[in-house]
């Protein structure tokens, strides 16, 4: 026996999501059948809306429903610092901690020779234009992930931007707060020792 087509196709759609295999997708599809009809309708509409109503901010690449995003439009923010992230979702993580009030720039990924992603595939040209046109920017904080590709991308950006006299910094690496030295990996420990601070 095969499932009827509508449920098979819904299972296939759920399987497109990251980390969702056939078993979980099947469970989700059957759960969908038991959901309130209005909720499913809204779910269906929200999928299309997210795909059609959202665009990239013309300045920083963040997601927005307008021409520019709410952060770029906010003149109360510190205009002298730009923090560079890989993805729009990283902005919320950083902004939520209330320790940074400057601007952002979204690369849309990292350099990855293995995946064939070069500088031309990232939002780098827009960043250089921003720095050229806006002389108020004094510091560029590179907050790519602490992965080899994130590291390489940070080095690449630093080389591009430093000659313009802009200070380029990178998020500190070291022990995660609350973590044990015993369980830290070698590279993390090394960074923690090299980046030690006087107390």
Tell me which residues touch a copy of itself (CB under 8 A).
Answer: 1-7, 9-10, 12-13, 16-19, 23-24, 26-33, 35, 37, 39-51, 53-54, 63-65, 70-71, 87-89, 91-92, 95-96, 182-183
Smallest separation (angstroms) from a copy of itself to the CB of 123: 14
Q: Which is nearer to a copy of itself, 38 or 133 (CB)?
A: 38
Q: Which is nearer to a copy of itself, 43 or 119 (CB)?
A: 43
Q: Which is nearer to a copy of itself, 45 or 115 (CB)?
A: 45
Where does residue 19 fall: left (phi above 0), alpha (psi -120 to 50 degrees), or beta otherwise?
Answer: left
Q: Between the CA of residue 128 and those of 2, 15, 73, 105, 179, what are the distances in Å?
A: 55, 38, 19, 11, 38
In angstroms, the CA 49 to CA 24 distance is 25
Which H helix or E strand runs over 26? helix 22-34
**What is the DSSP secondary structure assignment for residue 172, as one 8-state letter?**
-
Smallest separation (angstroms) from a copy of itself to the CB of 199: 26
Residue 33's closest CA among 61, 4, 57, 60? 4
Smallest separation (angstroms) from a copy of itself to the CB of 144: 16
Smallest separation (angstroms) from a copy of itself to the CB of 154: 22
Smallest separation (angstroms) from a copy of itself to the CB of 92: 6
Name the phi and psi angles at 67, rounded to 5: -65, -45
Q: Which is nearer to a copy of itself, 38 or 120 (CB)?
A: 38
Residue 171's closest CA among 111, 97, 118? 97
Q: Which is nearer to a copy of itself, 6 or 159 (CB)?
A: 6
């Amino acid at each position: 026996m095969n499932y009827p087509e509508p449920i098979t196709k819904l299972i296939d759609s759920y399987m497109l999501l990251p980390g969702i295999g056939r078993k979980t997708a099947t469970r989700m599809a059957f759960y969908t059948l038991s959901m309130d009809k209005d909720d499913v309708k809204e779910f269906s509409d929200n999928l299309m809306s997210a795909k059609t109503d959202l665009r990239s901010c013309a300045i920083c690449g963040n997601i927005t429903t307008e021409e520019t995003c709410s952060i770029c439009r906010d003149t109360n923010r510190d205009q002298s610092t730009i923090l560079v992230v890989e993805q729009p979702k990283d902005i919320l993580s950083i902004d939520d901690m209330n320790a940074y009030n400057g601007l952002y720039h979204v690369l849309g990924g990292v350099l990855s020779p293995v995946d064939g992603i070069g500088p031309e595939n990232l939002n780098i040209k827009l960043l250089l234009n921003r720095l050229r046109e806006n002389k108020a920017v004094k510091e560029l904080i590179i907050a790519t992930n602490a992965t080899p590709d994130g590291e390489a991308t940070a080095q690449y950006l630093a080389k591009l931007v430093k000659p313009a006299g802009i200070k380029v910094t990178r998020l500190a690496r070291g022990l995660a707060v609350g973590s044990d030295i015993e369980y830290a990996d070698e590279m993390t420990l090394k960074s923690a020792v090299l980046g030690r601070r006087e107390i």
